[in-house]
Amino acid sequence: MEVTLLSYTPEPEKTVAAAARLCYSPLSGGELLENFDDEQVQIFLARLSSQGHYSPFEHASFTFAIDGVSRALSHQLVRHRIASFSQKSQRYVAEDSFAYVTPPAIAANKEHKRAFEHLMREIMRQYTAFLADGIAAEDARYILPNAVATNLVLTMNARSLLNFFRLRCCLRAQAEIRQLAQLMLAEVKLVAPALFTKAGPSCEAEGICYEGNMNCGQKQAVVRSRQENPAEKG
C-alpha cells in the first residue's frame, strides 16, 4: 500500500480560518486575509475545534493517490459519501496478471496462505482463458475476487477527513483500511497540523467511544494514556 498526497488547497489552515473569520466579523471577502497573521489563524482554528464548529473545514480539500489496496477496501471507501473517487477500471485495464492483497489472518497461517494463493492463481488462469476466448474484460471481471489490488485517487475536504479518521483509525476498523487511514493522516498532518489536532479515533480525540457493545475494550486505557501524556495528543 502506498499513499501520496497529490495536491491540496493552498494554505489550507489560513483558508479555513478566513472562512471562519467571515462568520464572526463584518469584513468583506476582499478583506478577510488583511492583517491576518499565523497567530490569529491558529487562534481561530483552536476556537473552531473547541466549539465543534467544523463547517469552515469544508473549504480545504486534499487529494490522495492510493496504490495497492484491495477492492474490498475500495468498497468500504465509497461508504464515505462526501468525497470524490477515480478508480482503475476493470473494463478497460486487463487483470490477467493481477496483484492481490492477502489479509493478515490468512497470511499468518501457512496452510491458509497456500490455499489462498492457489485460489488466486486459479482465478487468474480462468480469467485469462475467458479473455483468450473473446469474452470482454467487462464480463470476465465478474470472477475476480475482492482481493484484487487496485489504484485510485481520492479527494476529501478536511471535515470529511476528520470523520473518516474518527471511524477508520479505530481499532474496530478492518486492518487494511485502518492502515490506509493512518497513512493519510500522517500526510495531512505534515501540511495542515492545526486542522487535524483532534484527528483519530474518538476515544483518543474526544475520550468517547461510539461503538457501544461492539467496542474494542480498550477505551479506558486509551483515555487514561492520553490524560497522562497530553503532549501526545494530535
- Asked if 226 is an active-site residue, the reply is no
Do 128 and 49 contact (CB within 8 A), yes or no? no
Cell of 190: 505534515
Cβ-proximal residues to 192 (8 Å cutoff; 6+ apart), any chain: 8, 12, 13, 60, 62, 158
Give the torsion through C-alpha atoms of 161, 163, 166, 170, to 10 deg.
-90
Do 16 and 48 contact (CB within 8 A), yes or no? yes
Residue showing cell 478583506: 31
Cβ-proximal residues to 163 (8 Å cutoff; 6+ apart), any chain: 80
Catalytic residue among 21, 71, 159, 168: 168
Catalytic residue annotation: 168
